[in-house]
Structure 1
């Protein structure tokens, strides 16, 4: 199948909220470039404006085949939910793949320079308007997507369904990364703990990777974008009906409930 055909298969399944029985076509993209070609077709064709990006680490066993430390994928405006005190309902594709990841989400300021490469992660700090507690909802209509590796993940919107954004974490950069502790519960049971230093190099290193990777392919970050910077307690699979609660710094609580996604309206 061509990149356009693979993109169409994933887009159609997502819009219909219907699981896929297997990866579209006869093989998973063999290179990072091939996978991002498919992703870019999907972004251009998706009927909702881009609102930001997710970044995730590539596991060591995949780095010989896909020589990078991280991958990225789009986050769209309708799938960014600003969470209040109560748990938010977040739609996932029943029968597909879904997971919750406690993340530090960066909101880019008005002065962010377009189409710019940066030398050091610290060069990006002045352009971060705020750091927020967040939960990335990883997800796909293909239940085996994550196990197929980075080529598959990248090609299906980076394995992202959306981002639940919680409260701002004030004075984030004034503290050591290890001091920003995070815990994740699913259905009341602790499933993971960690901190901001579990993200290789910290959130700014994820932002550096993303800014430079987009620039290399002719893209750009933009003022106001949300950037979800990587899992801080692990990747925690979930299903329809599960309740997820994340605690940041022992007190900032963010909660969501996984609900079954409905097919998107066609008109």
Structure 2
């Protein structure tokens, strides 16, 4: 039986998967394969694993990453986006010096250019459907940022969205940059980013490369969060998707992302000694 074979885990199996991921994260250790060798059979089961892992993790959620699911996986799992928690100790404020980010030696690590939305007011916990205009009304701030994707499981992206959702959405933190003023008056096509790893350009893109733009990702987070019993709260940060792509990075490497209005964010990775 392969690690990509799906199954419907019992509550004890979900807890075992969640504990394997959280123990590895806590220790800064790599996993040799998906815990138990078999994936949950649906996104719903994967979110149940994620919820079990959140219950085990000692830190406060300060936001959510939203990632795309592309074809053919989107049709297979019935969704084109996914979400995972961002925890307080893994939220960094960008500064003039490169932000130091721990990564899992032997695991997965990547840098992603992102536009980040700060929620301006609590969302209605009972509301599970929004128009783009209604979602935009909850924007309290629009920032530039870098999502540091990361997992103890090196093959997490290759295994697909069910594996990604199971391990905190493959999130290892968020570097929050400055607020981007005047974004409302600008077409998405003009909000351009470029990512460099070790000084080499590895990807370019604009906010228009996110289907429906960043507000569509916010709408997804609002609707999915409410359905999960995790409505968005004022101050939550929503990382809306990888604008230039997902760019692998290893311990000791440096990355830089350029954003509109002359903003730049720099980071450098280092081996993780433990997540707590």
Give the TM-score of the pair, scaled to structure 2.
0.93
1:27 corresponds in structure 2 to: 38
Partners of 1:113 and 1:119 lie apart in 2 by: 11
2:270 corresponds in structure 1 to: 259
Q: What do the CA deviations read for 1:193-237 (whole angstroms, capped 9, x no partner)?
A: 001011110111001111111212222111100000001000000
* Gapped regions of structure 2 (runs ≥ 5): 1-8
1:162 corresponds in structure 2 to: 173
Partners of 2:81 and 2:235 lie apart in 1 by: 22
Which one of the candidate residues 74, 92, 96 is aligned to 1:81? 92
Partners of 1:264 and 1:213 lie apart in 2 by: 27
Q: Does 1:245 align with 2:252?
A: no
| C-alpha deviation, 1:174, in angstroms | 1.2
Q: What do the CA deviations read for 1:230-267 (whole angstroms, capped 9, x no partner)?
A: 010000000001111000026110110011111245xx
CA contact (8 A) 1:138 1:160 kept: yes
Q: Does 1:116 align with 2:131?
A: no
The equivalences for 1:28-67 within 5 A come to: 28-67=39-78
Q: Does 1:9 align with 2:20?
A: yes
Runs of 4+ in 1 over 2 A off after TM superposition: 110-119
CA contact (8 A) 2:192 2:259 kept: yes
Other structure's SS at 1:63 match: helix
Partners of 2:181 and 2:126 lie apart in 1 by: 28
Which one of the candidate residues 226, 233, 250 is aligned to 1:222? 233
Partners of 1:224 and 1:233 lie apart in 2 by: 26
| C-alpha deviation, 1:112, in angstroms | 4.0
1:147 corresponds in structure 2 to: 158
Which one of the candidate residues 142, 148, 156 is aligned to 1:131? 142
| C-alpha deviation, 1:43, in angstroms | 0.9
Partners of 2:126 and 2:83 lie apart in 1 by: 16
CA-based RMSD: 1.2
Partners of 1:213 and 1:65 lie apart in 2 by: 18
Other structure's SS at 2:72 match: helix
| C-alpha deviation, 1:127, in angstroms | 1.3
Which one of the candidate residues 193, 211, 220 is aligned to 1:209? 220
| C-alpha deviation, 1:59, in angstroms | 1.3
Give the TM-score of the pair, scaled to structure 1.
0.96
Q: Which moved more, 1:34-43 or 1:121-130?
A: 121-130
Which one of the candidate residues 196, 199, 204 is aligned to 1:193? 204
Equivalenced residue count is 265
